[in-house]
Chain A
Amino acid sequence: MRLGMVIDLKRCIGCYGCQVSCKAENGTRPGTTYARLIKREWGTFPDVQRLSIPLLCNHCSEPPCVDVCPTGASQKQESDGIVFVDGDVCVGCRACVMACPYGARYYQDREHTYFDSEGPNEYETTRYLEHVRGVVEKCDFCRHRLAEGLDPACVTNCMSKARIFGDLDDPDSEVSRLVREEGGFPLTPEAGTEPNVFYLPPDRPPTNDRQVTP
């Protein structure tokens, strides 16, 4: 099994819902955004285009972040290809942060809280316990949710239904079909990382079938 995600740039409305749904699911500290978004603009007025591009870990098939890790804390899970960090092993050397071409890894230089001078609030006191201090953290495709049979939080929540999750090794899965039929492409393929997150072009032709929202 090779778990992967498809992000449909035609659907995505740049709402940042994924950034916050990930934050809410994983209870991460300030500055840590496993799911984030960048914006691009090109052209000249009035022929100008802007694009919102959601990012997360690509769970690369050839993950440089795993290669450079001196401790083995960064691993690629055999069974499903999920790349994750074992917070009990990581020493916080950040070599993996430098190795990842996608900015998918986060390290806290100190224990930031959102209302800084006030210290952690009730929510933060509870949720930050889930995190080990002084290590690198990243998206793990919400392994704890997958274990419960749920999709990742950012997928379940996306209000434009722009994120689709599944097994890329299964040619019949929705993700495989979309990548195949709708021109799915990875980010920065020249880095040789073989990402497992694919993007569908923002300007592809219509499907013309009248879908009815479930």
Chain B
Amino acid sequence: MSSPDTLDIRRRDLRSEFRPQREWIDGRGLLIVVAHFFSGIGAGAWLFSVWLDIEAGMVLGLVCVAILSGIAHLLFLGRFERFWRMLKRPHKSWISRGIWGIGIFSVGALGTLGAPPAWRDTMVAVSLFGCAIILLYEGFVYAASKGIPFWSTKLLPVLYITYGLRGGAALLLILAAAGSTAFDVHAMEAIKLWVVVSTGVLVLLYLTTASRSGGAARHSVRQLVAGRLSPAFYGGTVVVGILVPIALAAAREFGATGLFLLAAIGVSSLIGDFYVKYCVVKAGTYVTLSGAGLGTNANEPTRSRRFREAG
């Protein structure tokens, strides 16, 4: 019939026991990954920039969060003109909190950069508060998705926070490489290495935990490590996102220099940051339906039992 679009793929999903989530990855759904990518690294970059007082980094962080992530968020929505309605339920909904976070952050960040110095400390505080919400919100949006066991774990927010920080650091490394501002690149690099290693550990921990929780979560893990997502996972997340930055950082430790190397560490980390989010979201699989009478746990079919009784 019609072009083999997402619609038909979704219908086909109904045939399999493990139904992949599609709304947050296929078509315009990809925009939410993009949005979370930008808000994560933007918030991370802001944090470090405030700490190390890098003005260009702050601007970049603001652009990532308020503009790039904001636009991606809006475009992702089915009805973007109603976006303000999403502010209504921060007491319950992590998305709502996230939107508040982006709003608060943007106000704080703008204030930090542009408001009179008297206001600065307050504004920094506001922006950091917003940052914290943003970094928390992403992971919790997924973790609150009860339909998708792979996501509903407390480890996921930790993972997302770590990746946010890492991405922020990576952004600053690129900035440094671009030579725009002078700052303590070495401090940055140390943080960076530490975060890269810890993301590696976290990813491992996350996947092991998920694969132990059985059913749909294990299916998600299998998709990543040995299934249709393994190219993205190994290529994007593991190699480009973890091994390459470590190798490059090590190379620098052993004396290699050059701005290019610095930039390469940053870029590969960013790609890795994107891919980890992409992979986690894409691997989301709905919980397998179970029930007392559905035979999910039956070793023996009822029919044969009855036949034996009768015969």
Contact = CB atoms under 8 A, between A and B. Distances in A.
State yes or no: do A and B touch (Cβ within 8 Å): yes
Interface of A: 9, 30-31, 36, 38, 40, 42-43, 46-49, 51, 53, 55, 64, 67-73, 89-95, 97-103, 107, 109-110, 112, 116-117, 133-136, 183, 185-193, 199-203
Contacts of B212: none
B145 A116 contact: no
Given A43-B304, A89-B82, A91-B86, A98 B6 contact: no
Interface stretch (B168-176, B192-200, B242-250, B283-291): B283-291
A29 B122 CA distance: 51
B228 interface: no
| Interface-centre pick from B82, B93, B99, B286 (highest chain A CB count, 10 A) | B93
B302 A202 contact: yes
B11 interface: yes
A133 B78 contact: yes
Nearest to B302: A203
Interface of B: 1-3, 6-7, 10-11, 14, 17, 19, 21, 23-24, 26-29, 76-80, 82-83, 85-89, 92-96, 99, 141-142, 144-148, 151, 284, 286-287, 289-296, 298, 300-304, 306
Given A53-B289, A99-B144, A185-B292, A112 B7 contact: yes
Contact of B78 (A55, A100, A107): A107
B293 A67 contact: no
Contact of B146 (A99, A109, A183): A99
What is the interface of chain A mostly: helix, strand, loop, or mixed? loop
Given A49-B303, A202-B293, A135 B79 contact: yes
Q: Interface centre among A68, A112, A136, by most B CB within 10 Å? A: A68
13 contacts: A42-B298, A46-B304, A47-B301, A49-B295, A53-B289, A67-B144, A71-B82, A72-B88, A90-B82, A91-B79, A99-B144, A110-B27, A133-B79
Given A98-B24, A99-B146, A109-B27, A90 B78 contact: yes
Most chain A Cβ neighbours within 10 Å, of B10, B28, B145: B145
A112 B93 CA distance: 30
Highest count of chain A CB atoms <10 Å: which of B7, B80, B298: B7
Contacts of A73: 85
B89 A188 contact: no
A102 B289 contact: yes
A64 B144 contact: yes
Nearest to A46: B304
A93 B286 CA distance: 18
A164 to B, nearest CB: 16
Contact of A67 (B10, B85, B92, B290): B92
Contacts of B82: 71, 89-91
A187 B293 contact: no
B29 A109 contact: yes
A94 B89 contact: no
A49 B301 contact: yes
Given A71-B85, A103-B147, A49 B293 contact: no
B88 A71 contact: yes
Given A70-B99, A101-B146, A133-B78, 19 more contacts: A9-B293, A30-B2, A31-B7, A49-B303, A64-B147, A67-B144, A71-B86, A72-B85, A91-B83, A93-B78, A95-B95, A107-B23, A116-B2, A134-B78, A134-B79, A185-B291, A187-B291, A199-B294, A203-B303
Most buried by A among B96, B99, B142: B96
A9 B292 CA distance: 12
Given A98-B145, A109-B29, A70 B89 contact: yes
B7 A187 contact: no
Contact of B291 (A116, A135, A186): A186
Contacts of A30: 2, 7
Given A68-B144, A202-B293, A103 B304 contact: no
A124 to B, nearest CB: 13
A209 B298 CA distance: 29
